[in-house]
Structure 1
């Protein structure tokens, strides 16, 4: 091929519209938001094949610091952004894409169907240690919790533990919502907290203050443990990142949010 032809080919490639080029968006953070983000990415890529969106976990704190430091295009967090984080990363933009309830779940063999919010708190502090104290069998309670840095844990600590009471040191710690579900399903007399989006038939959901953990109850303001799901960008989103976030907030994107058991914000 002649040099002039090569130059013309390169020039033509440079003049291609953005939709015809390969563009990558990196997304990092909350394991609660991760499966939802993956579905939203798949739906967007189906009509925008020139955009590649890679989604990975790590926890909400990783999502905040990665976005704040510009180490990814989009961070994910499943909790309120702390004031200290807002001050550390003043240019970081926060986009609430959905809301999510936190469900209290037990191993199906426990048989307790309702707990007051204060009983939940006392179980997780270790003040209540036997199921018989809350109407269940005479068996020791196995507390399962997320690790430090988890957005689900941070939201639970804020809304249930009131930011003051500490989760018992005897708790079995797990790195993700999925790992929590697997542990509770296989561990007799266990209890944990998980995102609504991870509830399934392998664990038993518990009502809190007599209110069942359903999307309808959360949307109506009846269920007491609800938190935001956030996408974070290093600054004002531009280009393909903005286009993807716009899709997420569109009727099609919010329909996916609703279909997955989360609460749409539009």
Structure 2
């Protein structure tokens, strides 16, 4: 049975079910709803398809909305899974002690530029200065004489949180155009000469990414191998948060996402299995070798 992939906005979710405390999914133990991180959305959607084929009668609905929305909605009991690129403890207003964390994968995040830019590597200082608005022309970092067009993710995005934590070193990101999801950023960067942003690795491959160029930092390339040993430091766990006692179908779905059967799919889609990591990272950002 195929899953139904709903791209309902958070506002639409509020209208449909009420963010006032009414659980719009509570009356159906056969329905699993995962809301939140768009970085995790491709994996969650594919897993929903495969899970549905083997579990007739169980529907898995996958929606975006950003990590903040996922954490908020699962915390309020409006959905069964809150997808997030960040730890619940890192999000203000979330009662993390009431949630259960299921780490299902690791995602690398990389700066990306429109393919017309004649730059393939930046120093971390240069990247930081670009997003702080101190460098405004590609000529300043060895490229052609072209204005830099900044594209950022919206507040509440786990991808943005991770990028700013690892890159900006406490500096403010310059106010710029903001987009709600990785897919929108991918399209805009592909069509905008001089543009730069950042994307989950899972959005940097395939036909829709053919006009994108991932950027190395300090000559370290954004690869799975470099994420696994933390040479590439811009990465995050992909979390599926639930209540402390999720229903049985939610539990089965998350177990499936983490299973050996999904490992090849996880890699194919550009994610890294958690067990393949050579290091661990906690909510404070501390990295420890396994």
User: TM-score of the superposition, structure 2-length normalised?
Assistant: 0.80
Q: Which residue number in structure 2 is paired with residue 260 of structure 1?
A: 269
Does 2:160 correspond to 1:153? yes
Give the distance between the partners of 1:150 and 1:229, measured in 2 at CA: 13
Secondary structure at the residue paired with 2:270?
coil
Q: Which residue number in structure 2 is paired with residue 18 of structure 1?
A: none
Matches within 5 A, 1:129-144: 129-144=136-151
Q: Which residue number in structure 2 is paired with residue 166 of structure 1?
A: 172
Give the distance between the partners of 1:45 and 1:265, measured in 2 at CA: 23
Give the distance between the partners of 1:198 and 1:83, measured in 2 at CA: 24
Say if 1:92 and 1:232, in contact at 8 Å, map to a contact too.
Answer: yes
Secondary structure at the residue paired with 2:68?
helix
Deviation at 1:86, TM superposition (A): 8.2
Does 2:38 correspond to 1:39? no
Deviations 1:160-211 (A, max 9, x none): 112x211101x22111111111111111111110100000222111111111
**Cα RMSD for the two superposed structures:** 1.7
Q: 1:61 to 1:214 in 2, by over 3 A?
A: same
Give the distance between the partners of 1:111 and 1:46, measured in 2 at CA: 45
Question: Residue 107 of structure 1: which of 85, 103, 114 is its match?
Answer: 114
Consecutive unaligned residues in structure 2, runs of 5 or more: 1-27, 276-290
Matches within 5 A, 1:215-226: 215-226=224-235
Say if 2:99 and 2:242, in contact at 8 Å, map to a contact too.
Answer: yes
Deviations 1:47-85 (A, max 9, x none): 111210001111100000111111100010012333565
Deviation at 1:22, TM superposition (A): 7.6
Secondary structure at the residue paired with 2:62?
strand
Give the distance between the partners of 1:115 and 1:188, measured in 2 at CA: 18
Give structure 1 regions of 4+ aligned residues with deviation exceeding 6 angstroms: none
Secondary structure at the residue paired with 2:49?
helix
Question: Residue 233 of structure 1: which of 229, 242, 254 is its match?
Answer: 242
Give the distance between the partners of 2:172 and 2:254, measured in 1 at CA: 36
Matches within 5 A, 1:114-133: 114-133=121-140
Question: Residue 176 of structure 1: which of 178, 181, 189 is its match?
Answer: 181
User: TM-score of the superposition, structure 1-length normalised?
Assistant: 0.87
Question: Residue 201 of structure 2: which of 196, 199, 206 is its match?
Answer: 196
Secondary structure at the residue paired with 2:88?
coil
Give the distance between the partners of 2:85 and 2:246, measured in 1 at CA: 20
Give the distance between the partners of 1:62 and 1:22, measured in 2 at CA: 22
Give the distance between the partners of 1:61 and 1:22, measured in 2 at CA: 25
Secondary structure at the residue paired with 1:82?
helix
Deviates more, 1:201-210 or 1:217-226: 217-226
Q: Which residue number in structure 2 is paired with residue 98 of structure 1?
A: 105
Secondary structure at the residue paired with 1:231?
strand
Deviates more, 1:199-208 or 1:234-243: 234-243
Deviation at 1:228, TM superposition (A): 1.0
Larger Rg: 1
Secondary structure at the residue paired with 2:262?
helix
Deviation at 1:250, TM superposition (A): 1.0
